[in-house]
Amino acid sequence: MTTKYEALTGAEAAALAMKQINPDVVAVYPITPQTPIVMKFSEYVANGEVDTEMVRVESEHSAMSATVGAAGAGARAMTATAANGLALMWEIVYIAASTRLPIVMGLVNRALSGPINIHCDHSDSMGARDSGWIQIYSENAQEVYDNYFMALRIAEHKDVLLPVMVCQDGFITSHSVENVLPLEDAQVKKFIGKKNFKGLLTSEKPYTIGPLDLQDYYMEHKMQQHDAMKHVIPVIEKIQKEYAETFDRKYEIIEEYRTDDADMVIVGMSSVMGTVKDVIDMMREEGIKVGAVKPRLFRPFPAEKIKNVLSKFKAIIILDRSDSFGSFPPLYGEILASFFAAEKKPYIKSFIHGLGGRDTNVEMIKEVISELQKLRDTGESNFTIDYLGVR
């Protein structure tokens, strides 16, 4: 294995992973902050470093349509987008999932307008949480890179056959240069293996895919999608285990940080959790027993696992990087639901943070920990939702 770190942005790490996957088809339209992925990948195509047929489309709606068409014909097909781009491909996003196509899409999380904002939050992917896609969230450029290979294996697994979004935080991860330890091309090739999905469309046995499906069968097909999602967690665990054994890189569906003796934790996803880990180290030096829990998977939501992990603590605060106007922020809401039937429940509180790229800094995380202590000791703010760092 290579032991040489490279200086790569999250976007470059995604493009490098795509290059090593060498997909048959990439159909993609540029949008900030996803653009550096397609820029870098186009370079690989232009230099003949991949065999990919790159389809330069005129919109994201077409990008997803072409990806669906290619995957339907049995190609390993990929794309990438962000925010308004995802919104424009919306209709076909659902079709990709309900047609059970193993597409891997890089999603560079960015706020959805309006007003127009190009910076990070999770409003784009959270909007798509019920589209039937698997969603994996990455903390840093290294995770982005590694998640691509696991995502491909998950998507193409015979018990799954569902599309996967590999999410990374816009600008914070996508445009920040960090140390990334790449794998050798041959190692990647061996790990991802040959595609075992033959496609849906064949000339030998022509038939129609995705036609009208009304009252008589639509509901059965939706139930099958729900059922397919139930297979995902065991498959991911198996693939993560294989990845760890092969490359000595440990990924778990739920990562725990300094939780062994903790009585309270911060729960959150993606780049903010790096900051959280650093602040936890600082607080630990002051004798405060705080830890962190980071779900890498949001769809399917690992409800049973999260309940088992979190029921150990007296108090938890959940950080959501998106809002759900008129309801609970997404991660908070899922965790509440996971606990409803549990006998032992921690105190629980929500903070919405970092909307539109607002910097979630060390002081804010310290504030969260001080709120956690109050929550643990008094339970007063149980079930409340607040905004972090809002004037």
Q: Does 272 bind another protein (CB under 8 A)?
A: yes
Q: Does 362 bind another protein (CB under 8 A)?
A: yes
Tell me which stretch binds another protein (CB under 8 A): 94-102, 173-181, 208-216, 333-341.
173-181
Q: Does 296 bind another protein (CB under 8 A)?
A: no
Nearer to another protein, 119 or 307 (CB): 119
**370 CB contacts (<8 Å, ≥6 apart)?**
none
Number of residues that bind another protein (CB under 8 A): 28
- Residue 376 CB, nearest approach to another protein (Å): 24
Q: Does 2 bind another protein (CB under 8 A)?
A: no
Tell me which stretch binds another protein (CB under 8 A): 99-107, 165-173, 324-332, 375-383.
165-173
- Residue 375 CB, nearest approach to another protein (Å): 24
Q: Does 175 bind another protein (CB under 8 A)?
A: yes
Pick from 39, 209, 244, 282 the residue near another protein by CB under 8 A.
282
Q: Does 138 bind another protein (CB under 8 A)?
A: no
- What CA–CA distance (Å, rounded) separates 186 from 184? 5
Interface with another protein in residues 340-359 (CB under 8 A): 359
Pick from 111, 152, 154, 172 the residue near another protein by CB under 8 A.
172
Nearer to another protein, 124 or 334 (CB): 124
Q: Does 42 bind another protein (CB under 8 A)?
A: no
Nearer to another protein, 91 or 278 (CB): 278
Interface with another protein in residues 96-135 (CB under 8 A): 118-119
- Residue 359 CB, nearest approach to another protein (Å): 5
- What CA–CA distance (Å, rounded) separates 18 from 144? 11
Pick from 45, 49, 94, 176 the residue near another protein by CB under 8 A.
176
Residue 136 neighbours by CB distance under 10 Å: 28
Q: Does 245 bind another protein (CB under 8 A)?
A: no
- Residues at the interface with another protein (CB under 8 A): 5-7, 118-119, 140, 169, 171-173, 175-179, 271-272, 274-275, 277-279, 281-282, 359-362
